[in-house]
Structure 1
Amino acid sequence: MEDGKLTVRAVERALDIMLCFTDSSNLSLTEIAVRVSLHKSTVHRLLASLEGKGFVVRDFATDKYRLGFRIWELSANMTHSDDPAIILLPEMERLRDQLDETISLYVCDGLERVRIQAVESNQAIRRVAAIGARLPLYVGASSKILVAFAEPQVQEALMKAKNMPVGLERSVFLKQLADVLSQGYATSVEERELGAAAVAVPIFNQAHTLVASLAVSGPSNRLTLEKMKEHAPVLLEAARRMGKMVR
């Protein structure tokens, strides 16, 4: 039994190492060890195993690691027919061209939201959206959408969590969610990031199940509350079309 536990722990640690590359393309042994909070000797052994299987590659010139080609081999065999990030990309690009702001797609994962797709604005000053970014469910327009339209157990779990931001009262947060349900969209101005604003709407599939949050984001001095209210009907119509495309 102990061997089984050790094996699972080793797998979890190896996966933690792989996840380090979600926001960095090249990392040294020391940088990885710091990120996963493990001794360098342990990380070195795990990297050696991953390298042996082709999941990471070591650049001896820089002594840094990067993802190996085995990752792309696996991704080539993914089923994209039901993936909203793939299916909805053309619609997101059209919406970006129409509104000239950054368009993002978020899904709920536990008590976080994950940006699974993004199309950045062509404007010189724009909202940069990293795909794969994980963000809290307490703040931001898309967070409000994913919580307000979620199953009751999601809201219950969030209310019981102990990591609610300082200064955000549960009663205020619940009132925000009620407002979102009433108007059908959510807005945020510098809630999570200084100088940034966003408006978001829900995407429901044909079974009326919440699939994702569709958001438009940009600089708060350009994406004002008045502008976001103007964008809301456009977003809602786009979300309606997108909902017919996903299961």
Structure 2
Amino acid sequence: METKKTVRAAERALDILLCFTEAPELSLTEIARMTDLNKSTVYRLLATLEEKGFLIRDGDTEKYRLGFRIWELSTHLSQSDDPAILFLPEMEKLRDAIEETVSLYVRDGYERIRVQAVESNQAIRRVAPIGARMPLAVGASSKVLAAFSEPSEQALILGDPGWPETVDQGEYLQQLQRIKKEGYATSVEEREAGTSAVAVPVFDRHGKIVAALAVSGPVGRLTVDRMKEVVPHAIEAAERMQKMMKK
């Protein structure tokens, strides 16, 4: 019984920390609403997380933000295992070559997460916040992650209870087949107005997809023709990334 209580408390504490993927600062009331927990429970967990350094409470606003302990943990991520760290030099090279924002996405359930980004140096550019979550139904990176997944994984993606009614699954599957054949995906204002993107898969040494490498920018600059010119550069970068992966 004690073990179950401990696990439940850990789950609740982690749920609280995950709330900060939605906003940099949150009040007790906001966290209670987001986690669907009563305020007294949230208050006790917040006190523990604050004491351990995972959260910081602003005495003036009474809002919480992530503490320095989080950043301490992140500094110990293994460069040999974490694609976000391992692939950063290649992403910077690609950005410098094509002068657009370069992002790296991984799949997490029904969503993709931007785990790394290198912004363009141009005045008008695609701003890419790290940690952003997006649905797998739309977008070049989403379709690359789905297209090169196993059929069983594709079935899970299509079973998303939050699948948008505006996206026809039959047409979506046809797009995945074409993407797998061509080796890349493009999108023009598909997920975000004014933005276009092209994405290619990054495989491990066993040929399993581990991430989607994307180039994004304003539609006026990253046109369909320009995306076709970018594809070879992105594929070459992805191939170099594959060689960097462990056997």
TM-score tier (shorter): over 0.9
CA shift, 1:18, in A, is 0.7
Q: Which runs of 5+ in 2 are unaligned?
A: none
3-state secondary structure, aligned to 2:29: helix
Q: Which aligned pairs between 1:2-41 and structure 2 lie closer than 5 A?
A: 4-41=3-40
C-alpha distance in structure 2 between counterparts of 1:13 and 1:36, whole Å: 8
Q: Which runs of 5+ in 1 are unaligned?
A: none
C-alpha distance in structure 2 between counterparts of 1:215 and 1:77, whole Å: 26
Aligned to 2:148: 149
CA shift, 1:214, in A, is 0.3
3-state secondary structure, aligned to 1:203: strand
C-alpha distance in structure 2 between counterparts of 1:164 and 1:142, whole Å: 17
CA shift, 1:225, in A, is 1.1
Q: Which aligned pairs between 1:216-231 and structure 2 lie closer than 5 A?
A: 216-231=215-230
Aligned to 1:190: 189
CA shift, 1:238, in A, is 1.1
Which amino acid letter does the alignment assign opposite residue 69 of structure 1? F
TM-score relative to the length of structure 1 = 0.93
Is the 2:99–2:120 contact (alpha carbons within 8 Å) kept by the matching residues of 1? yes
Asked if residue 94 in structure 1 is aligned to residue 93 in structure 2, the reply is yes
3-state secondary structure, aligned to 1:227: helix
C-alpha distance in structure 1 between counterparts of 2:157 and 2:67, whole Å: 37
What do the CA deviations read for 1:117-173 (whole angstroms, capped 9, x no partner)?
001111122111111111111110011111111112111112233322112111100
CA shift, 1:5, in A, is 4.2
Is the 2:109–2:157 contact (alpha carbons within 8 Å) kept by the matching residues of 1? no
CA shift, 1:110, in A, is 1.5
3-state secondary structure, aligned to 2:115: strand
CA shift, 1:103, in A, is 0.4
Cα 1:208/1:64, change in 2 over 3 Å:
same
Aligned to 1:131: 130
3-state secondary structure, aligned to 2:244: coil
Q: Which range moves more in the overlay, 104-113 or 55-64?
A: 55-64
Aligned to 1:61: 60
Q: Which aligned pairs between 1:198-237 and structure 2 lie closer than 5 A?
A: 198-237=197-236
C-alpha distance in structure 2 between counterparts of 1:162 and 1:34, whole Å: 22
C-alpha distance in structure 2 between counterparts of 1:111 and 1:91, whole Å: 27
Cα 1:161/1:31, change in 2 over 3 Å:
closer
TM-score relative to the length of structure 2 = 0.93
3-state secondary structure, aligned to 1:43: helix
Asked if residue 241 in structure 1 is aligned to residue 226 in structure 2, the reply is no
3-state secondary structure, aligned to 1:206: coil
Q: Which range moves more in the overlay, 66-75 or 165-174?
A: 66-75
**Count of matched residue positions in the alignment of Structure 1 and Structure 2:** 246
CA shift, 1:115, in A, is 0.9
3-state secondary structure, aligned to 1:244: helix
C-alpha distance in structure 1 between counterparts of 2:71 and 2:157, whole Å: 35
Which amino acid letter does the alignment assign opposite residue 172 of structure 2? F
C-alpha distance in structure 2 between counterparts of 1:136 and 1:20, whole Å: 18
Which amino acid letter does the alignment assign opposite residue 46 of structure 2? L
3-state secondary structure, aligned to 1:187: strand
Is the 2:26–2:65 contact (alpha carbons within 8 Å) kept by the matching residues of 1? yes
